C-alpha cells in the first residue's frame, strides 16, 4: 500500500489511480516530492495527528485514501467556496471513526465555506461514541457521471454548517448511467448555525430527480436550517428521523422540477403509486419527528410546498401552532389517519387549506393473490381504483403474490380528504360501499377468471384474493 502523487499545483494535491494508502502516506509522499512536506501539508501532535492543508488547495483523489481514526484535517482557506476533497470516478475516500474535518482552520463557528465533490465513493465510518465531525463545510455533492458504482455510505456523521450558503448541505444527484443509486445514510446529523449566526440561510438535505428508492435514509437529524429538505423531483423514503427548528418550510420543492401537471402530486387519478417518473417529488416518512419548524412565521411542525406528495406514517408533530400543515399544491397523506400519528403541544394539529389537494387520511392494503390450492400467483395484474376514479393504481404481484408500493411497503389508499383547522370537515372517498364510496380491486391473470372485490378503506385492509382457473375453454387460433 502506497500513495503515488499526480500533478501538484496551487489548486490541487493529486494522487494517482494506483494509490492505495492513508493521509499519513500522502503527507510522506509530499515530503519526498518537495523535500519539505510543510510546503503543502503540515502535521502536528502525536498519534492521532492534526494535518493541515496549506493554501487554498484541494485534495483530489483518483485512487484510495484513508483518513485514520481520531485524526484531524484542517483546510486553511483564504477564500470561500473552494473545494476541500474531490473524489474522482474510480477513486475512494474512507474516513474512520472520530475524525474531525475543519473546512476553515480553527474557525468551527466561522464563515469558511468549503466543499466535497464526489464522483467516486466516499465512506464516513463513525461510531456512536466517536462520530465523525465536519465543520464549516458548505456542501457534499454525490454524483455518478459514469458507469462505475459510486454508492457511498455515511454512518455516525455530524455536519456543522457555515452561514450564508444558500444551498443544501448535501445533495444526491441522479446517475447519468448505470443502475439506480443505493447510498446509505444512517445516524447522520446536519446542524445549521445558532446564536452567533443567522440560521435562515443554511439548507439541509436535497434529493434530485430519479428513482431513489434504494437509498437508505435512517436516523437523520436536521436542525436549525432554512429548509429541512429541498427536492428537485424524485422519490425517496426516510425512517426514524427528526427535522427540527427550520426557519422556512420543513420540505420544499423547486417549482418547475415537478414535471408537467399530470405528473405533479395534484391528482391521484393520474399519479400512479408504482410510477417512478424522474421528476415526481414523492416521499414517505416512517416513524419520524417534526418539531417546531417554520419559525420565521406561524410555526408548523410539518409543512411541505410546491407540489410535493408526502406520506407520513407513525410520525410525531409537536411544539407548533399547526402540527401538520398542507398547502401550496402539496398532497399530504397521513397513513393510518389522524390516529396513526402522535400530536403533542400544538394549538391546532391539522391544517388543510386547499379543496383540490391538501390533507388526506389513508390506509394500507395487504394483498396476497393465490390459486385455489393456496399457491401464490406471481405476475398477476392488479388495479385498485376508487369508485369515482378519484385515485387509481396499477401493480404486478411479486414472487410472494403481494403488491408493494415504490418503497417495498403495502400501498396506501385514501379514505377521506380533510379541510380546515379549528373545525375539520371531510370529503369521504372510501367509507360506505352501499353509498358508492369504496375502492374496487380488480385482478387479471392469464388462465384465471377475473377477480373483483369492493373494499372500504376505513382501516388497514388484509385481502387474500383466490383466483379460479378457467375451465373447459379451448384456445382458438387467431387467423
Question: How many Å is the Cα radius of gyration of the chain?
Answer: 26
Average pLDDT over residues 266-274: 38
For residues 311 and 340, is the Cβ–Cβ distance under 8 A?
no
Residue 474 lies in a domain: no
Q: Are residues 112 and 206 in the same domain?
A: yes
Q: Which residues contact 461 (CB under 8 A, 6 or more apart)?
A: 363, 364, 365, 366, 455
Q: Quickly list DSSP for 211-276.
A: B-TT-EEEEEEEES-SSSEEEES-EEEEES-EEE--SS-SEEE-TT-S-SGGGSTT-TTTS-TT--
Q: Are residues 105 and 150 in the same domain?
A: yes
Residue 430 confidence (pLDDT): 97
The pLDDT-based confidence of 136 (bands split at 50, 70, 90) is confident
How far apart are alpha carbons 357 and 38 in whole angstroms?
61
DSSP state, residue 203: -
- Per-residue HEC secondary structure of 55-78 comes to CCCEEEECCEEEECCCCEEEECCC
Residue 70 lies in a domain: yes
Q: If you count them, how many residues does the chain have? A: 479
- pLDDT surpasses 90 at 464: yes
- pLDDT surpasses 70 at 199: no
Q: Which residues contact 381 (CB under 8 A, 6 or more apart)?
A: 394, 395, 396, 443, 444, 445
Domain boundary (361, 393, 418) is at: 361
Residue 182 confidence (pLDDT): 84
When the pLDDT of each residue in the chain is averaged and rounded to a whole number, the result is: 83
Q: Give the Å distances, CA to CA, from 145 to 142, 173, 175, 179, 451.
A: 10, 10, 6, 12, 46
List the end-to-end C-alpha distance of the chain, in Å, as a whole number.
70
Q: Are residues 189 and 270 in the same domain?
A: yes
Residue 472 lies in a domain: no
How far apart are alpha carbons 292 and 52 in whole angstroms?
39
How far apart are alpha carbons 83 and 202 in whole angstroms?
18
Residue 477 lies in a domain: no
Among the listed ranges 143-152, 220-229, 341-350, which one has the minimum average pLDDT value?
143-152
Q: Are residues 285 and 411 in the same domain?
A: no
Q: Are residues 352 and 401 in the same domain?
A: no
For residues 12 and 58, is the Cβ–Cβ distance under 8 A?
yes
Residue 418 confidence (pLDDT): 94
Q: Are residues 199 and 328 in the same domain?
A: yes
Where does residue 417 rank: exposed (0-12), middle (13-18), buried (19+ CB within 10 A)?
A: buried
Residue 428 lies in a domain: yes
Residue 357 confidence (pLDDT): 74
The CATH number covering residue 404 comes to 2.60.40.10
180-189: pLDDT as tens digits: 778 899 999 9
Q: Give the Å distances, CA to CA, from 389 to 153, 406, 437, 441.
A: 42, 21, 11, 12
The C-alpha cell 369504496 sits at 438
Residue 215 confidence (pLDDT): 87
Residue 224 confidence (pLDDT): 87
Domain count, the chain: 2
Separation of CA 252 from chain center: 13
Average pLDDT over residues 418-436: 94
Residue 475 lies in a domain: no
According to DSSP, the β-strands at 439-444 and 381-386 are antiparallel
283-336: pLDDT as tens digits: 899 999 999 998 878 899 998 776 777 899 999 999 999 999 987 777 889 999
Q: Are residues 321 and 374 in the same domain?
A: no
The pLDDT-based confidence of 113 (bands split at 50, 70, 90) is low
Q: Are residues 436 and 347 in the same domain?
A: no
The CATH number covering residue 167 comes to 2.160.20
- pLDDT surpasses 80 at 7: yes
Structural domain boundaries, residue 249: 5-361
- pLDDT surpasses 80 at 88: yes
Residue of 277, 278, 329, 341 lying closest to 303 (CA atoms): 329
Residue 150 confidence (pLDDT): 81
Domain boundary (314, 331, 361) is at: 361
Q: Are residues 315 and 395 in the same domain?
A: no
At 11, is the secondary structure helix, strand, or coil? coil
422 vs 168, residue with greater confidence: 422
Q: Are residues 134 and 190 in the same domain?
A: yes
Average pLDDT over residues 211-239: 85
Residue 283 lies in a domain: yes
367 vs 196, residue with greater confidence: 367
How far apart are alpha carbons 70 and 130 in whole angstroms?
8
Q: Are residues 321 and 401 in the same domain?
A: no
The C-alpha cell 465533490 sits at 117
- pLDDT surpasses 80 at 78: no
Domain boundary (361, 387, 414) is at: 361
Residue 316 lies in a domain: yes
Q: Are residues 105 and 128 in the same domain?
A: yes
Residue 209 confidence (pLDDT): 66
How far apart are alpha carbons 109 and 163 in whole angstroms?
9
Amino acid at each position: 500500500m502506497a500513495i503515488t502523487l499526480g500533478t501538484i499545483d496551487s489548486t490541487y494535491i493529486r494522487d494517482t489511480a494506483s494509490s492505495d494508502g492513508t493521509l499519513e502516506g500522502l503527507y510522506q509522499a509530499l515530503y519526498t516530492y518537495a523535500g519539505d512536506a510543510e510546503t503543502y501539508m503540515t502535521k502536528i501532535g502525536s498519534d492521532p495527528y492534526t494535518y493541515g492543508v496549506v493554501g487554498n488547495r484541494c485534495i483530489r483523489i483518483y485512487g484510495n485514501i484513508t483518513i485514520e481514526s481520531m485524526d484531524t484535517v484542517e483546510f486553511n482557506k483564504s477564500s470561500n467556496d473552494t473545494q476541500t476533497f474531490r473524489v474522482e470516478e474510480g477513486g475512494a475516500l474512507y474516513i474512520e471513526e472520530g475524525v474531525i474535518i475543519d473546512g476553515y482552520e480553527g474557525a468551527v463557528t466561522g464563515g469558511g465555506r468549503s466543499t466535497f465533490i464526489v464522483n467516486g465513493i466516499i465512506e464516513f465510518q463513525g461510531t456512536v461514541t466517536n462520530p465523525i465531525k465536519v465543520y464549516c463545510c458548505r456542501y457534499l455533492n454525490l454524483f455518478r457521471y459514469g458507469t462505475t458504482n459510486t454508492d457511498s455510505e455515511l454512518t455516525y456523521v455530524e455536519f456543522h454548517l457555515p452561514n450564508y450558503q444558500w444551498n443544501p448541505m448535501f445533495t444526491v444527484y441522479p446517475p447519468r448511467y448505470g443502475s439506480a443509486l443505493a447510498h446509505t445514510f444512517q445516524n447522520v446529523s446536519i446542524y445549521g448555525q445558532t446564536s452567533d449566526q443567522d440560521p435562515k440561510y443554511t439548507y439541509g438535505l436535497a434529493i434530485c430527480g430519479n428513482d431513489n428508492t434504494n437509498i437508505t435514509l435512517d436516523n437523520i437529524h436536521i436542525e436549525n436550517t432554512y429548509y429541512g429538505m429541498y427536492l428537485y423531483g424524485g422519490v425517496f423514503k426516510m425512517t426514524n428521523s427528526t427535522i427540527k427548528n427550520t426557519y422556512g418550510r420543513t420540505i420544499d420543492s423547486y417549482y418547475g422540477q415537478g414535471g408537467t401537471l399530470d405528473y405533479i402530486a395534484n391528482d391521484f387519478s393520474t399519479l400512479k403509486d408504482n410510477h417512478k417518473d424522474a421528476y415526481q417529488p414523492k416521499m414517505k416518512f416512517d416513524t419520524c419527528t417534526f418539531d417546531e419548524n417554520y419559525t420565521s412565521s406561524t410555526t408548523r411542525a410539518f409543512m411541505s410546498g410546491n407540489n410535493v406528495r408526502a406520506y407520513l406514517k407513525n410520525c410525531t408533530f409537536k411544539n407548533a401552532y399547526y402540527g401538520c400543515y398542507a398547502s401550496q399544491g402539496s398532497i399530504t397523506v397521513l397513513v393510518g389517519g389522524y390516529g396513526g400519528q402522535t400530536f403533542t403541544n400544538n394549538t391546532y394539529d391539522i391544517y388543510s387549506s386547499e379543496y383540490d389537494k391538501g390533507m388526506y387520511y389513508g390506509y394500507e392494503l395487504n394483498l396476497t393473490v393465490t390459486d385455489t390450492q393456496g399457491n401464490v400467483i406471481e405476475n398477476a395484474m392488479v388495479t385498485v381504483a376508487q369508485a369515482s376514479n378519484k385515485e387509481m393504481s396499477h401493480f404486478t404481484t411479486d414472487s410472494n403474490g403481494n403488491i408493494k408500493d415504490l418503497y417495498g411497503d403495502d400501498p396506501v389508499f385514501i379514505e377521506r380528504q380533510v379541510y380546515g383547522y379549528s373545525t375539520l370537515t371531510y370529503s369521504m372517498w372510501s367509507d360506505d360501499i352501499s353509498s358508492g364510496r369504496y375502492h374496487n380491486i380488480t385482478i387479471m391473470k392469464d388462465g384465471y377468471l377475473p377477480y373483483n372485490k369492493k373494499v372500504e378503506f376505513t382501516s388497514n385492509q388484509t385481502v387474500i384474493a383466490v383466483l379460479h382457473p378457467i375451465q373447459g375453454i379451448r384456445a382458438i387460433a387467431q387467423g
